[in-house]
């Protein structure tokens, strides 16, 4: 009995992808001051460092470290996302992204997923107020893209942002339960199906 010859797949040359580690300009050294601020729970210092991040020359590992801090608000995450100028990569396929920007796009993908899945919550005092206009502009662009039949790479849920108040937490007004007051004996001897 003769065995069939092994079928060899053709070798496809893949371009090397840049990871967050290969694009780092410096070592994985986090600023000691920021480490102390993070340990102390100073979210304002972490927020300011994330907002001041330089997308062109900064270490993306440091940004990932900053953005994974619990307690950062949704407005900060959106502003950091929009600071990266994602519009120029929004309509490019993964293979069309220039090699020097693949790590940047990967960081934007990660940030977009965290925003969409609810890792960042709105700040209770100001909601999305600092970035509301930019978020509305991005959503309007999404709508016009949908009308043309085009989808960008990063799409946000419109309802997710519309439900967020910009001024302060909304108080939920509950209507009082008006009806007969239940007495102990009535509660004990009333059939279960009537209690509801």
CA pair distance 63, 4, nearest whole angstrom: 53
Q: Is the pLDDT of residue 143 over 70?
A: yes
Query: What are the boundaries of each domain within the chain?
Result: 32-170
Q: How far apart are CA 102 and CA 86, in angstroms?
A: 12
Query: Residue 114: which of 158, 76, 62 has the closest Cα?
Result: 76
**pLDDT tens for residues 48-104?**
999 999 999 999 999 998 999 888 999 999 999 999 999 999 999 888 999 999 999
Q: Name the least confident of 39-48, 97-106, 133-142.
A: 39-48
**pLDDT tens digits along 1-14:** 566 556 565 555 55
What pLDDT, on a 0 to 100 scale, did the predictor assign at position 169? 55
**What's the longest Cα–Cα distance across the chain?**
89
Mapped to the 3 state alphabet, what secondary structure does the chain carry?
Answer: CCCCCCCCCCCCCCCCCCCCCCCCCCCCCCCHHHHHHHHHCCHHHHHHHHHCCCCCCCCHHHHHHHHCCCCCEHHHHHHHHHHCCHHHCCCCCHHHCCHHHHHHHHHHHHHHHHHHCCCCECECCCECHHHHHHHHHHHHHHHHHHHHCCCCCCCCCHHHHHCCCCCCCCCCCCCCCCCCCCCHHHHHHCCHHHHC
């Amino acid at each position: 009995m003769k065995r069939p010859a092994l079928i060899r797949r053709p070798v496809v040359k893949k371009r090397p992808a840049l990871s967050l580690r290969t694009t780092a300009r410096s070592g994985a050294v986090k600023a000691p001051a920021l480490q102390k601020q993070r340990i102390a729970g100073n979210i304002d210092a972490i927020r300011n460092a994330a907002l001041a991040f330089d997308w062109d020359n900064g270490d993306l590992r440091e940004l990932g470290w900053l953005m994974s801090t619990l307690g950062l608000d949704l407005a900060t995450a959106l502003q950091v996302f929009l600071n990266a100028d994602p519009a120029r990569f929004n309509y490019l396929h993964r293979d069309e992204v220039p090699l020097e920007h693949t790590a940047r796009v990967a960081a934007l993908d990660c940030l977009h997923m965290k925003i969409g899945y609810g890792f960042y919550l709105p700040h209770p005092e100001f909601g999305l107020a600092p970035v509301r206009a930019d978020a509305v502009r991005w959503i309007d662009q999404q709508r016009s893209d949908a009308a043309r039949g085009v989808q960008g790479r990063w799409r946000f849920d419109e309802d997710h942002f519309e439900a967020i108040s910009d001024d302060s937490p909304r108080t939920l007004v509950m209507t009082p339960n008006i009806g007969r007051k239940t007495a102990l004996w009535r509660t004990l001897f009333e059939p279960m199906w009537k209690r509801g």
